[in-house]
Structure 1
């Protein structure tokens, strides 16, 4: 490695790790010290990463305001150095950072808002997949339905939120004053996905969330209906299951249905 290449590598490492030992290889300029010059590069690098986080979490930024968001962003940059050449993936760890790091972990709504925005971003970037049509279901005889299993669309994902982050997100999205933060008696069960090119989400009732989670794991329709019978009236469990399934298909949440092997 040439001396210049070594210096480039060391300079990059110093910026990434905040290591001041590189200063011995930097000259003062007529107007500024080497500390100031190096600080310009170091600050610009951190600010660019914070900008990437801001772009991915527009509504969290709006909720926190410029100063608080920038403070949080720089804390995230310091705690989670970038390990991917694509800035799109830098903010992937933000919900967990907010959930586990003080003082942010004392305000669970921050992690919830970040998780919801992350899920919508992920839905937008998810891979393509066929969309199961209602007409395809007519090809299965009634006696085969108990053995039907379903494949979720690649963009579909489920998250649980412990606060009223959905209501806050909606208010912020509509340029309205968000409601006061509330901790929910039970988690909000949110399903995110991409319909055509638009990221979507909706809250699921507990019963439907259970059915979705189990169906996503390959549980056949007949067993799903048995599970539904434990939630409510067992006599119409199959009808409720069919209703949920109809909604998933019309929303483009499934790519395929097949007989369990």
Structure 2
């Protein structure tokens, strides 16, 4: 390692960890001591990363307010230093940090809000792909429908939350006072995707969430309908499955369909 590269590493380590040993190699300026000069870099580094968090998690920022969000942001910067040259990826670990780090872990709504915003951001950045149309489904003979397998659109993602984060997110998005945070009796099941250029989500019932999860794993339509029959009226399982499928297609949630036969 060259001397310059070593100094760069020491400089970065000092900014990230608070190690001030690099000060021995920094000169005072005519106007300020080296400690002040180095402190400017250290503060600017943390401030820029907190700004990136605020950009990626604007509604979490609205929920917490400036002071609490900044305190959380600097705690995240200290615990999860950036190791990627693109700031877009710095906030990826925020939901896990909030879920596992006190005092934020005492408020599960925070991790759920961060996870919802993260997944919406990921949907916005996900790759483009063709969207399956109802006309594409019409090309399959009725006797083949039981064998059909569906490919989720690359922007789609399922997310389970333990709180009413969806309702809180929607209120914040509409500049309304959010409801009090509550822990749900059973997980909230969210389906997130990008429609045209707009990330969106909707809540799923337990039955549709099961069908989506299994369909995303390549389970054919006939087997999916058999599984639906264990949830509710067996005689209506095929109709319910077709209804869910129609909703997925018209929402642009699928990119392909195939049959093994």
TM (norm. structure 1) is 0.97
The corresponding residue for 2:178 is 178
Partner SS for 2:129: coil
Matched-pair contact (CA < 8 Å) for 2:188–2:203? yes
TM-score by length of 2: 0.97
> Shift of the alpha carbon at 1:37?
1.5
Which residues in structure 2 correspond to 1:148-159 (within 5 Å)? 148-159=148-159
Does 8-17 or 230-239 show the bigger shift? 8-17
Unaligned stretches of 5+ residues in structure 1: none
Q: In structure 1, the residue corresponding to 2:28 is in which secondary structure?
A: coil
Distance between the aligned counterparts of 2:4 and 2:232, measured in 1?
71
Tell me whether 1:51 sits opposite 2:51 in the alignment: yes
The answer for the alignment partner of 2:244 in structure 1 is 244
Partner Cα separation in structure 2 for residue 256 and residue 63 of structure 1:
38
Is the Cα contact below 8 Å between 1:220 and 1:260 reproduced in 2?
no
Matched, 1:65 2:75: no
CA distance in 1: counterparts of 2:260 and 2:18, whole angstroms: 55
Gaps of 5+ in 2: none
Bigger mean CA deviation after superposition, 10-19 or 121-130: 10-19
Shift of 1:7: 2.7
Q: CA deviation at 1:83?
A: 1.1
8 Å CA contact 2:57–2:114 kept in 1: the answer is yes
Question: How far apart in 1 are the matches of 2:83 and 2:36?
Answer: 26
Counterpart CA distance in 1 for 2:197 and 2:173 is 18
Q: Per-residue deviation at 1:2?
A: 5.4
1:143-162 superposed Cα distances (whole Å, 9 cap, x missing partner): 11111000000000000011
Q: Shift of the alpha carbon at 1:5?
A: 4.7
8 Å contact from structure 1 (residues 14, 20) kept in 2: yes
Say if 2:132 is the partner of 1:132: yes
Distance 2:248 2:5 in 1: 55
Per the alignment, in what secondary structure is the counterpart of residue 132 of structure 1? coil
Contact 2:131/2:255 (8 A) holds in 1? yes
Corresponding residue of 1:222:
222
The superposition leaves residues 209-229 of structure 1 with CA deviations (integer Å, 9 ceiling, x where unpaired) of 000000000000011001100
Asked if structure 1 preserves the Cα contact closer than 8 Å seen for 2:171 and 2:177, the reply is: yes
**Residue 39 of structure 2 corresponds to which residue in structure 1?**
39
Paired residue secondary structure (1:190): strand
Q: Secondary structure at the match of 2:139?
A: coil
In structure 2, what is the equivalent of residue 7 of structure 1? 7
Q: Is the 8 A contact 1:57 1:117 kept in 2?
A: yes
1:208-252 CA distance string (max 9 Å, x none): 000000000000001100110000000010000000000000000
Q: Is 2:101 the counterpart of 1:101?
A: yes
Provide the aligned C-alpha RMSD in A: 1.2
- 2:39 and 2:119 map into 1 onto residues whose CA distance is 35
Which of 24-33 and 235-244 deviates more? 24-33
102-111 or 35-44, which moves further after superposition?
A: 35-44
